Structure formats: C-alpha cells, structure tokens
Amino acid sequence: MADLFDGYPEGVAWDEMIEPGHTVRAPYQHVHRTMGRLNADELRVRADALARSYLAQGVTFDVGGEERPFPLDSVPRVIDADEWGVLAPGIAQRVRALEALLADAYGPQQAIADGVLPRSLVVSSAHFARAARGIEPPNGVRVHVGGIDVIRDSAGGWRVLEDNVRVPSGVSYVLSNRRAMAQSFPELFARMRIRPVADYPRRLLQALHAAAPSGVDEPVVVVLTPGVYNSAYFEHSLLARLMGVELVEGRDLFCAGGKVYMRTTEGRRRVDVIYRRVDDDFIDPVVFRPDSLLGCPGLLSAARAGSVTIANAVGNGVADDKLTYTYLPDLIRYYLGEEPLLNNVDTWRLEEPESLNEVLDRLDELVVKPVDGSGGKGIIIGPAASREELDLARAHLRADPRGWIAQPVVQLSTVPTLAGDALRPRHVDLRPFAVNDGDDVWVLPGGLTRVALAEGQLVVNSSQGGGSKDTWVLGEMRRGARPPLTTEGGPPAPSSADGDTPAGVQQDANPTDTEMREQNQQQQQTPSSGEPPEPPTRRFPAWRSSC
C-alpha cells in the first residue's frame, strides 16, 4: 500500500505543505502525519463521507441538471498564527482604504482633486452608480462584507489578487467545510488548535444591526436573494437561517411612502436593513435595469431618504474595479497614511500607450483580465491560449484599453490535493472575509481556499470546475488559556454563581429490566444436584404465578 505522498513532485510553485527537499513545513506536521498514515482507500472513504454529508445538507451545485456536492478536498490548508498576524491586519487595512475611497468617490472626490486618482477612472467605471451619490450610509459603512482574494507567489509572499466589495460570496462554504471536516478528521482537531469560524453569522448580524437607520431600536434585517435558481442560493439561505432573519425575494418587498416593507401573513412589516445578494443592475428597476424582476422598485429612493440601509451599498463596484486596484497602494498611503501591508500583483494599465504596446508584444506570457469581471470570466492566460484567442484578445485590448488589465502569470502556491489515488500539488488562492461594523473591521480567521482540481490549472474559480479546502488558522494560545468570555447583555454567566461542578441526578431505569436479567439467569440454571434451588421469594412477577 503506497504512501499517499509517494512521488510528490517539487514544482516551480511554492508548496504550502512541503518545502523543497521534502521537509514538511511546521504548521502542517500533524496534517502530514495523519494523511501519511492513511492509504488511498481510507482517504477516499473519508472523502466520500464528506461528499455524502454535502449532498444531504444540499451543499451542491448544478451540473447539467444533476446535483453534485461542492467538491471539498480532504487536505486542509493551514496558516500559522504568525502568518495570520500579518495577513489579517493587511486585509483589514485594505477594507478601510476601500471604505475611504467609496466615501470619497460618492462624496467630495478629494482624491481626484489631489491628483491621486484620475477622474476618468472613476466616471468611466462600469460600476460607478451616479444614482448612489448622496446616499449616506447611517454609520458610514459601505463595505459591510468584503472578500479580498489573496495568493502566495512562488517566493512565498502574500499578494492581493483582487478586491470584492460588491457581493462577495463563498462564506457558506467556509462554515460548512469546517463542520464537515471536524466530523471527518476529529483526530486532527483534537491535536491542533484551530481557530473557530462559527462566529461569522453573529458578527455579520451585529454589523447589519449597527448599520440600521438611526432611531431604530430593534432593526428588522432581511437577506435579499435573487431566488432558488441562483447558484449561491444555498449561501443566502444558510446566512438567513444562521442569523435568524427572513430570506426575501424582490417580490416579497415593496416600497411605500419612502419606506420598505415586506408582505407577511400579518400584513406589512417594516424592513430596516437589507443584506442584498442581488447585483446593482437588478436591485431597483426604477434606477437600473427596468426589466429586472429580482429587485424592488423604489429601494434606492428609500435608501436616499435614510429609511432603509442597503448592505453592501449600491455602487461599490467602482472600488473593486481592477483598474482602481492598481491605485490601491497609493490610496492606502493617501487615505490612511500607512504603508500597505500587502502588495499587489504587478499590473499594467493599458491606457498608457507604452504599457499597451509592451503588453501586446508579450501577450503570450501574460494574463489579461476584464476590469469588471468576476468568477474568472473572460480571463485569458497567455501561455495557455491559442493563436486565435491571442489575436482576438489583442483586438479587444486595442478597442477598449480601459476595459482590461494585464498581469504577469503568477504561479499560485500549491497544496497537496487528492487526485486519483495520490496526493498531488494543486494551485490554490484564498479569500478571507472581512466584516465591517463601523467601529472595527473583523477578519474571519481563515476564509475560503479555492483549489483548481486539474493539474497545472491556474484559475481556481468554482464556476470553472474548482473545489475548496477548509482553511485552518492556528490559534496562538495554549489549551486552557482561554480568553475571558464576554457576555453581552446576558445574565451573569450562570455557572459561576453556583460553583464549578455541574451536577446531574443519576439516571434511573426500569427496575423490571434488572430483575428480568436475574430471572433469566435462573431460568437458564439447571439444578446442580438433588437440592432444588430456593424459589425466589421477593418481587415475584405476577405473570409467573400461573405456571
């Protein structure tokens, strides 16, 4: 029975688990040992159990009308505390800068006046929503949830690949991956200190409550979904369920008198915060696409009147435009007065003629991406593209240089992944999620690690056949050194009031059960010698009296 790691190749990319020379990096020691002890069949059994549990829960996506479990690879991705100590503040910094940028772009436009950001970039962005000007979010937050995609390059350094501040999705997989992994690999969880992720829905709800229009005591929060046919519907329903709020579709909402209501069996009910998972284009047919049935007419004017909060705010797309991305390091310095903690990937701005020419020359060794794309759509990877594709791309770039950016091919880091009967390196990225409640940007420890399941494949998006891995951030504290619990608004922690030993009354059982056992033994006994056994004298069951 072959070791799963047999013949594990050393690639050009940075491998998260195995250093050149086949030494195992420190955070992966336990994982490597446990996986090394399994053979392919055993790992396959566990992987099947993972898939089954996903089918049962409905964590699936549609492939040609058939429901397939979302592929979760059995080998986790591990990040140690020190590394996370760099990454998390970097993510938070990025989100703060994006917030400042959005507040500025839809407000005074100071950065443009100061020449940090070209005006043309803002106004030419496909997602700059003029209708969003003048909508002041109650607590100043526009990016309630942000997903910042980061990668590790071949030198082992973290870089930001893109920002997602419109409707970043994938957090439901983080939650369900964790649950499934804990059930499949209990021994690893027992040995490692993995920081929990289950807090996310509570944090999100807290941030949404904090974003409610002022003067609302107990805000009614809803999750707005495009409906059951949306590929992320599972996520919408999971979040609504875990937050205990209503999951609504556009047709469940209506606006009247500048306020938003939902239709319920008890009449209309005011809605204060809408966590929307519908794109800008569809959210309000009055302002955006008039043929949209997914939104609710009048939402934007209600938001402008300050009677409802839309989260994430409308028009956020201008901040995660991939051309804006190239300015972000400067913007961090400009708005926050800090040095960026995380670097960008080097990017060519194609509006500059010399960059455009260079890119057109070297197109076969670069990656070009549309500035407003998501989900890996429209990306052309030079080395993998055919001559026709490259020619077509050249034409696109010449016609619309504003619409594209170019980057060198980054060798994403790899993590061992189950492929057939062995573990093989596969490329991964990471999307940490940040929740901004106005006071603080909280980064969920871990995030969604997406993995390209085909060998050498660099696009990890799930719509392109990617899978995911559970992402474990190791805690820095030892077992037992638990941080003090904060109880918010609750009663004093009940336990401390009455001592440390919880007590329970011993469980009782049907007394007949024990008697029957004795009696059973008696029935089996044959008298050993002449002397018959004494007939039982106590508690003789009634039904025996007839014999």
Partner 1 sequence: MLSRIAESLFWIGRYVERADDTARILDAHLQYLLEDPYLEEEAACRALLAVMGATPPSEETEATRTTVLDVLAYDRHAPGSIAGALAASRENARRAREVLSSELWECLNTTWNALPSRIRSSSPHEYFAWVRERAAIVGGITDAATRRDETLQFLLLGRSIERADMTARLVTSRTLAGGAGPGWMTLLRSCGAHEAFLRTYRGRDSETLAAEFLLLDRLFPRSVLFSLEQAERCLTRLAPIDGRGLREEDARKVLGRVRSRLEYQPLLSLLSSLTEEMVAVQEGCSDASDAIRLRYFPSGVADDWIGDRL
Q: Which of residues 494-533 bind partner 1 (CB under 8 A)?
A: 494-513, 515-516
**467 contacts 60 by C-beta, under 8 angstroms:** no
The piece of 199-207, 281-289, 326-334, 397-405 that touches partner 1 (CB under 8 A) is 199-207
Minimum distance from residue 175 beta carbon to partner 1 (Å): 11
Q: Is 178 in the site for partner 1 (CB under 8 A)?
A: yes
The owner of tokens 């009147």 is: 305
Q: Is 20 in the site for partner 1 (CB under 8 A)?
A: no
The piece of 148-156, 236-244, 320-328, 371-379 that touches partner 1 (CB under 8 A) is 236-244
**417 contacts 381 by C-beta, under 8 angstroms:** no
Q: For partner 1, which is the closer residue by CB, 339 or 508?
A: 508
Residue among 61, 189, 233, 254 that touches partner 1 (CB under 8 A) = 189
Position 365, amino acid:
E
* SS3 of 363-384: HHHEEEEECCCCCCCCCEEHHH
Minimum distance from residue 149 beta carbon to partner 1 (Å): 26
Q: For partner 1, which is the closer residue by CB, 504 or 530?
A: 504
Q: For partner 1, which is the closer residue by CB, 7 or 502?
A: 502
Q: Is 539 in the site for partner 1 (CB under 8 A)?
A: yes
The owner of tokens 């500035």 is: 371
Q: For partner 1, which is the closer residue by CB, 206 or 344?
A: 206
Minimum distance from residue 62 beta carbon to partner 1 (Å): 25
Q: Is 55 in the site for partner 1 (CB under 8 A)?
A: no
| Residue 18 vs residues 15, 79, 83, 475: alpha-carbon distances, Å | 6, 14, 17, 21
Q: For partner 1, which is the closer residue by CB, 339 or 534?
A: 534
Minimum distance from residue 494 beta carbon to partner 1 (Å): 4
Cα–Cα nearest to 469, from 445, 444, 452, 455: 452
474-490 b/e (C-beta count within 10 Å ≥ 16 → b): bbeeeeeeeeeeeeeee
Minimum distance from residue 178 beta carbon to partner 1 (Å): 7
Minimum distance from residue 207 beta carbon to partner 1 (Å): 13
- Footprint of partner 1 on 241-260 (CB under 8 A): 241-245
Tokens found for residue 299: 């939402």
Q: Is 85 in the site for partner 1 (CB under 8 A)?
A: no
Q: For partner 1, which is the closer residue by CB, 189 or 282?
A: 189
Q: For partner 1, which is the closer residue by CB, 221 or 350?
A: 221
Residue among 58, 157, 196, 533 that touches partner 1 (CB under 8 A) = 196
Q: For partner 1, which is the closer residue by CB, 65 or 489?
A: 489
Three-state DSSP class for 19? strand
Q: For partner 1, which is the closer residue by CB, 196 or 383?
A: 196
The owner of tokens 């000007």 is: 133
The number of CA neighbours under 13 Å toward the Cβ of 344 is 21
- Provide the sign of the torsion angle of the four alpha carbons 345, 351, 357, 363, taken in this order: positive
Q: Is 420 in the site for partner 1 (CB under 8 A)?
A: no
Q: Is 540 in the site for partner 1 (CB under 8 A)?
A: yes
Minimum distance from residue 165 beta carbon to partner 1 (Å): 24
Q: Is 351 in the site for partner 1 (CB under 8 A)?
A: no
Give the relative orientation of helices 233-243 and 171-184 as an angle to the nearest 10 degrees.
Answer: 80
Q: For partner 1, which is the closer residue by CB, 12 or 542?
A: 542
Separation of alpha carbons 10 and 22, rounded Å = 8
Separation of alpha carbons 9 and 17, rounded Å = 12
- Footprint of partner 1 on 358-387 (CB under 8 A): none
- Footprint of partner 1 on 445-504 (CB under 8 A): 475, 477, 479-483, 485, 487-504
Tokens found for residue 13: 């990319």
Minimum distance from residue 49 beta carbon to partner 1 (Å): 7
Minimum distance from residue 370 beta carbon to partner 1 (Å): 38
Residue among 202, 263, 362, 398 that touches partner 1 (CB under 8 A) = 202
Residues 6 or more apart whose Cβ sits within 8 Å of residue 474: 27, 78, 79, 80, 81, 84, 192, 193, 194, 195
Which residue pairs from 394-401 have beta carbons closer than 8 angstroms and sit at least 24 positions apart in sequence? 394/360, 394/363, 397/350, 397/356, 397/359, 397/360, 397/368, 398/356, 398/360, 401/350, 401/351, 401/356
CA 179 to chain centre: 14
Q: Is 228 in the site for partner 1 (CB under 8 A)?
A: no
Residue among 26, 55, 198, 454 that touches partner 1 (CB under 8 A) = 198
Q: Is 264 in the site for partner 1 (CB under 8 A)?
A: no
What is the DSSP annotation of 418-468? EETTEEEEEEEEEE-EEEE-SS-EEE-SS-EEEEE-STT-----GGGTEEE
| Residue 258 vs residues 299, 343, 489: alpha-carbon distances, Å | 8, 43, 33
The piece of 213-221, 373-381, 387-395, 427-435 that touches partner 1 (CB under 8 A) is 213-221
Q: For partner 1, which is the closer residue by CB, 22 or 479?
A: 479
